[in-house]
Structure 1
Amino acid sequence: MAGRADLTSYDYRKARAAFLAANDVCHLCGHAGADVVDHVRPVAAGADPSDQDNWAPAHGVRRCPTCGRNCNGSKGANVQVKGLNTSRDWYGS
């Protein structure tokens, strides 16, 4: 399992900043202003923290400016979020 150093290295932080600059819509609530990278398959479950194909923008530390949620905190180390109510069904057809 990867250590915390993998998530705080300079190269990781630089890649994360570039990723968020290009993608700031939270994949969990659908609002702009995402401030953290969510690992869709959690690092705690063995995912490579630097695999950008496993990254998705999410709200975290600063919370969503629209709905006020800490979306990534609500998700935690789960693969899917259940019960995260949003103002809109972003995954509906």
Structure 2
Amino acid sequence: MFYSILGKGGDCYCISVYEGYDAFNSFVMLTIQERMNLSVEYAMFNQHNLTCYWGNREELSAKQRKIIKTLGYKYRGKNNWLYFMSYEPGYC
């Protein structure tokens, strides 16, 4: 397993988990996409990971907000909304 922890830049707070070398290669592709002359969209569309975000209410879909409400969680404030996203190559 490989992990990527984001947040020092202040724009995105998350922990991403990459299971196996193929998933790790998708992370490497994202980090060097400019040198490989790839678009950010292409690199993101080929990610393979599970990511836990600390974000804002506006970033969540209606379905994600409903799940949080059903579970009984209540978040308030900027970057306090905990949610997960699963990324698979070829899926958005």
- Which bracket does the TM-score occupy, shorter chain normalised? under 0.3
User: Under a length normalisation based on structure 1, what TM-score does the superposition of the two structures give?
Assistant: 0.23
User: Under a length normalisation based on structure 2, what TM-score does the superposition of the two structures give?
Assistant: 0.23
**Greater gyration radius:** 2
